[in-house]
A = this chain, B = another copy of it.
Amino acid sequence: MKRIGILGGLGPESTAVYYEYITREYYRRYRNYAYPEIIIYSFSFQEFIDAGYEASGKVKMAIENLHKAGADFVIAACNSLHIVFEEVSGNISIPWLSIIDAAAQEIKTKNIKKVGLLGTIFTMNKDFYRKGLARHNIETIIPSGEDRVKINNIIYKELVLNEIRDDSRQIILEIIRKLSRRGAEGVVLGCTELPFLIRQKDTSVKVFDTTTIHTRKALQIALGEEEI
């Protein structure tokens, strides 16, 4: 079994969900307690918000620390942090499994060519996510400027604190409907906190929950069922 390294804390609530998804899914499948070992490096969230997540030196240091602590590969429990993925991933001692590549593989299995992207303002405004999906021939559209601000506020003022509000859910669902009318065949919950609020049962548009997709793939790699 491989040891899973997790870059966490961005924010802490989704890091806890990553950890619980992996351990609970392991038990659900195998009905024993021989979980893979997991090593988590949890950052101080504020400094990443202040830097717009562009803290590649700090991320590289944390990955090397996870390597020293025994991790065989690493995942980041945060979509926005993938802004430094291209810069960092070729230059570290262990492989980093991208959440964007994991999402793209899942999107392709559904034969979907065009998706709407929801996430933090960093994830929606910058081009790293769009480019990452384009490499898999998936086209990305994003909400209007006004709607991007609404989503960002819901993430940072509510979801990172595990505050779940139905009025906020309705706002996001209306944004998903608009993306669907603009041709999105599916919507990527491109922030690991968004699945706290939006589930597939809430909408007829196909939802890609990056947290579940990513953790499931990390578990399969740890168990040797998939290659990284």
Q: Which residues of A contact B (CB under 8 A)?
A: 1, 9, 11-13, 15-16, 19-20, 23-24, 27, 32-47, 49, 65-66, 68-70, 160-162
Contacts and interface: CB of A to CB of B under 8 A. Distances in A.
Contacts of A38: 9, 40, 42
B69 A39 contact: yes
A57 B9 CA distance: 29
A168 B126 CA distance: 52
Contacts of A69: 39, 41, 65-66, 68-69
| Most central of A42, A43, A70 by chain B CB within 10 Å | A42
A148 to B, nearest CB: 20
Contact of A42 (B27, B32, B37, B160): B37
A45 B37 contact: no
Contacts of A160: 33
| Most central of A19, A33, A37 by chain B CB within 10 Å | A33
Contacts of A24: 12, 162
A26 to B, nearest CB: 9
Contacts of A16: 16, 19-20
A40 B37 contact: no
Contacts of A11: 23, 33
Given A69-B65, A69-B66, A69-B68, A19 B32 contact: no
A80 to B, nearest CB: 13
A3 B23 CA distance: 24
B20 A33 contact: no
B19 A15 contact: yes
Given A16-B20, A39-B40, A46 B34 contact: yes
Contact of A35 (B1, B12, B33): B12
Given A33-B44, A33-B45, 19 more contacts: A9-B35, A9-B37, A9-B38, A11-B23, A11-B33, A13-B20, A16-B20, A23-B42, A33-B46, A35-B44, A37-B43, A37-B44, A39-B41, A39-B65, A41-B69, A65-B70, A66-B69, A68-B68, A68-B69
Contacts of A49: 33
